[in-house]
Amino acid sequence: MDTRIAIIGTGMTHFGELWGVSPRQLASDAVSQAVVDAGLTKKDIQGIFVANMLSGMLGLQGHLGALFAEELGIQVPAYTVEGACASGGLALHTAMMSIASGKYDTVLVLGVEKMTDHSPEEVSSALMGAGSNEERLAGATFPGLYALLAKSHMQKFGTTERHLASVAVKNHFHASLNPKAQFQKSIPIETILKSPLVADPLKLLDCSPVTDGAAAVILQRKKTSTSSHCVEICASQIATDTLGLANRSSLLELRATRYAAHAAYIEAGITPKEIDIVELHDCFTIAEILAIEDCGFTEKGEAGKMIEKGMFTLGSAKRTVVNSSGGLKACGHPVGATGVKQIVELADQLRGRCGKRQVKHAHIGMAHNVGGSGATAVVHIVKSV
């Protein structure tokens, strides 16, 4: 990429059940933080790229570009990018293209989701908007679709329910060090294993929660004259696969992840070994196992064992730290905001601002954001320069 794009400001709300907070307030909170962090005012923003999935389906509110532009008091170009749970990563990619095209210099990427206004059944059904019609007619849910992937992985590679639970243990531990995470306490593995089944073998605590939240980043074209230490996005890749699981070529991987990650490594000119921290899309524990393998951090089939042994955890040396924020599982998963939050975490880590969960010497970070059961995968690589 010829144009160099820097992340100059980040912000995010608490993630959780924010009953009294409206989508407008969520956005306002996250954007204010980002604007202050960037040392700018709102008037410096030239475009807004909104990431959201459910506002139209559940809240009957579309046209979010105009809504948030109004809320922020700036009449700039603004529109929504949607790709289910990958909306955040896709909005970031779109924002980058807008800068690279020369059209804008400074833009805002805002991921927002309000999920707790509706019953769990309504939310579950709305989320299936990310799947295929056939899957909806079959009574599938997202836990169900990922359960099919989990069972296939367990059948082929001997991955166990304990391996799955280990992902949750790690991410809850990380979240306990993240003041903005939905869950603030570590959870023992036995508690996870004893939680009620949602879709065999996935239990309640194998699944990411229903969350409200917003995250914002401000991107700016980097002028070559600027010498200051900053965080740059050096790769942004998207891959798509079939909408429904039935037509995938394999149930043992998310091929879109593999393609997007591979393309990102080439674009950034690096290998997985050089990644210090990675935010992977752990909508379910099995999803993190698949992501670690599909991004090339381990051989296929090995991730479960390695997580159980403590690798990829904060404080364990020599390996990439996975989901220092707590991931979707423990930091929370406000669908449209997640992809943006991942970038917020990476940028904050690279700038040494993560306090108790700081990954030492973090220099290169990666974000992996998935839509549906793997129909879209977006990978970004950021580095401090």
By annotation, the residues acting in catalysis are 85, 333
The position carrying tokens 């991004």 is 295
**What part of residues 154-193 is at the interface with another protein (CB under 8 A)?**
155
Of the candidate residues 3, 41, 43, 134, the single one contacting another protein (CB under 8 A): 134
Please give the backbone phi and psi of residue 10, each rounded to the nearest 5 degrees, phi first.
-135, 155
**What part of residues 61-80 is at the interface with another protein (CB under 8 A)?**
none
Smallest gap from Cβ 183 to another protein, in A, equals 20
Contact 333, 207 (CB under 8 A): no
Say how far apart CA 382 and CA 234 lie, in whole Å.
Answer: 6
Smallest gap from Cβ 203 to another protein, in A, equals 10
Could you say whether residue 217 binds another protein (CB under 8 A)? Answer: no
Contact 174, 167 (CB under 8 A): no
Q: How many residues of this chain interact with another protein, rule: CB under 8 A?
A: 36
Q: Give the range of 56-64, 97-105, 115-123, 347-355 binding another protein by CB under 8 A.
A: 115-123
> Identity (one letter) of the amino acid at 212?
D
Among residues 136 and 363, whose Cβ is nearest to another protein? 136
Smallest gap from Cβ 304 to another protein, in A, equals 18
Among residues 32 and 160, whose Cβ is nearest to another protein? 160
Among residues 89 and 304, whose Cβ is nearest to another protein? 304
**What part of residues 233-272 is at the interface with another protein (CB under 8 A)?**
244-247, 251
DSSP SS3 for 340: helix
Smallest gap from Cβ 206 to another protein, in A, equals 12
Smallest gap from Cβ 209 to another protein, in A, equals 13
Q: Give the range of 56-64, 199-207, 281-289, 298-306 binding another protein by CB under 8 A.
A: 199-207
Smallest gap from Cβ 68 to another protein, in A, equals 29
Closest CA to 231 of 288, 277, 294: 277
The position carrying tokens 């690096």 is 270
Among residues 36 and 138, whose Cβ is nearest to another protein? 138
Could you say whether residue 41 binds another protein (CB under 8 A)? Answer: no
Smallest gap from Cβ 127 to another protein, in A, equals 9
Full DSSP string of 165-224: HHHHHHHHHHHTT-TTSS--S---HHHHHHSPEEETTEEGGGB----BEEEEEEEEEPPT
Say how far apart CA 223 and CA 203 lie, in whole Å.
Answer: 49
SS3 content of the chain, % helix, strand, coil (to 5): 40, 20, 40
Of the candidate residues 197, 266, 310, 356, the single one contacting another protein (CB under 8 A): 197
Q: Give the range of 40-48, 130-138, 286-294, 351-359 binding another protein by CB under 8 A.
A: 130-138
Strands 277-279 and 321-322: parallel
Give whole-number Cα distances, 202 to 16, 72, 186, 294, 315, in Å: 22, 41, 19, 20, 28
Say how far apart CA 150 and CA 30 lie, in whole Å.
Answer: 35
Binding mask 137-156 for another protein (x = CB under 8 A): xxxxx-xx--xx-xxx--x-
* Contact residues: another protein, CB under 8 A: 120-122, 124-125, 128, 132-141, 143-144, 147-148, 150-152, 155, 196-202, 244-247, 251
